């Protein structure tokens, strides 16, 4: 039995997976990984990337460059032009990232599903009751970015980012075993709430949520890298116009983005829990005869 097969079998056991990836010093390990992943020594770089590729389905063939300075450099890789075609329908909101779709659908008043039997509220997630009220009975999708995936995220539609609200927090894993066991996980983890408006004034909210080994979150709209040691203001006003499909930032490892829209929005029919989706594919579509 190969080491990869053994690890896969161990992680397939939910209880063991949870213990191995959560019952550890999460914050300390995350800080260590942030430092270690940036080491540019050729031996460290090559061994780290080889190990990462051995235990995950990592595809570096789409990357814009073929040589990387460090494991971190490979994690935050850019893709070649054209590697992620954008849905040609201009009224369709596209996925901001490569991901596996998690909980999704209609928001029940102010309550969202985390996993079976686990729920949380808009107010807890966003930390802003006025913003939560705008999204009541709206539509949402949870996008989980695994460690092997492309880690940059993009604008789902033409929009103007008005505010970033940063929440320091924990670094629980965001995989299914943790989501089934940790109540209100997304509201407890480190995260940023990006509040934007589309061309017609409709609110669009994206919540990148950090997880174990996610050393930081880079956001172009405020020209900052947010991380656990960030000591600046946590509510940051901005005025950043982003075109559909343009890059908004990146995670330094895998994690999750929750996308939220008000009640008139509707999920694209092919978006289902457990399905893989790529950046640029249809995510939300306006109802027939209406507009998001």
Q: Which residues are catalytic?
A: 98, 154, 255
Q: At what angle do helices 3-12 and 14-22 cross, to 10 degrees?
A: 100
- For 103, the token pair is 């909980």
Residues 6+ apart with CB under 8 A from 144: 99, 100, 101, 102, 174, 175, 254, 255, 256
The answer to whether residues 76 and 64 touch, using CB atoms and an 8 Å cutoff, is no
Helices and strands in the chain: count of H runs, count of E runs: 9, 16
Vertex 190 angle, CA 7 and 11, to 5° = 10
Residues 6+ apart with CB under 8 A from 286: 91, 92, 264, 265, 266, 292
Task: Spell out a b/e string for 171-208, using b for 16 or more CB atoms within 10 Å of the CB, else e.
Answer: bbbbbbbbbebbeebbbbbbbbbbbbebeeebbbbbbb
Spatial distance between the Cα atoms of 276 and 25, rounded to a whole number of angstroms: 30
The CA-based dihedral angle spanning residues 123, 125, 128, 129, taken in that order and rounded to the nearest 10 degrees: -10
- For 36, the token pair is 């270690």
């Amino acid at each position: 039995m190969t080491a990869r097969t053994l690890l896969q079998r161990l992680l397939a056991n939910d209880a063991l997976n949870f213990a191995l990836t959560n019952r550890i010093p999460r914050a300390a390990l995350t800080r260590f990984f942030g430092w270690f992943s940036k080491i540019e020594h050729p031996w460290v770089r090559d061994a780290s990337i080889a190990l990462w590729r051995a235990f995950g389905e990592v595809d570096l063939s789409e990357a814009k460059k073929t040589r990387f300075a460090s494991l971190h450099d490979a994690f935050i890789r850019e893709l070649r032009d054209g590697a992620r075609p954008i849905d040609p329908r201009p009224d369709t909101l596209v996925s901001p990232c490569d991901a596996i779709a998690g909980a999704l659908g209609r928001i029940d008043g102010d309550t969202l599903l985390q996993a079976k039997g686990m729920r949380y509220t808009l107010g807890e997630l966003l930390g802003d009751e006025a913003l939560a009220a705008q999204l009541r009975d709206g539509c949402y999708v949870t996008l989980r970015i695994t460690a092997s995936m492309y880690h940059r995220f993009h604008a789902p539609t033409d929009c103007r980012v008005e505010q970033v609200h940063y929440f320091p927090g924990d670094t629980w894993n965001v995989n299914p075993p943790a989501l089934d066991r940790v109540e209100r996980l997304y509201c407890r983890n480190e995260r940023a709430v990006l509040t934007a408006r589309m061309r017609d004034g409709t609110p669009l909210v994206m919540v990148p949520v950090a997880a174990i080994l996610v050393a930081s979150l880079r956001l172009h709209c405020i020209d900052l890298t947010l991380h656990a040691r960030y000591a600046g203001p946590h509510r940051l006003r901005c005025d950043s116009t982003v075109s559909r499909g343009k890059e908004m930032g990146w995670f330094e490892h895998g994690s999750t983005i929750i996308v939220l829209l008000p009640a008139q929005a509707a999920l694209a029919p092919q978006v289902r829990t457990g399905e893989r989706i790529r950046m640029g594919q249809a995510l939300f579509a306006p109802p027939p005869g209406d507009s998001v």
